[in-house]
A and B are shown apart, each in its own frame.
Chain A
Amino acid sequence: MNTLTDNTIMLAVKNGEIDRLGLLYERYKVWVYNFFLQSNHDSELSEDLLQNVFMRILKYKHTYTEDSKFVTWMFQIARNVNHDHFRKNKKHIETMDLDKVNYKKEDGKGIEAEIELKESKNLLQQALDRLSLEKREVIILSKLKELKYKEVGAILGCTEDTARTKAHRALKELKTVYLNLQKQ
Chain B
Amino acid sequence: MNNEPANPEQVLTRPPRTPTQDALNSLIRNRSAQVGMVILAIMIVVAIFAPIIAPYEPNAVLIGKENVKKRQPPCIHLLGCPVDQPQHIMGTDGNVRDQFSRVVYGSRVSLFVGFSTVGFAIIIGTTLGAIAGYVGGATDNLIMRLMDVLLAFPALLLAIAIVTVLGEGLINALLAIGIVSIPVYARVSRASVLSIKELEFVTAARAVGVPDARILGKSILPHVLTPLIVAGTLGIATAILDAAALSFLGLGAQPPMAEWGSMLGAERNQVFTAPHLVFFPGLAIMLTVLGFNLLGDGLRDALDPRLRK
Instruction: Note whether A and B form a binding pair.
Output: no
Chain A interfacial positions (CB closer than 8 Å to B): none
Chain B interfacial positions (CB closer than 8 Å to A): none
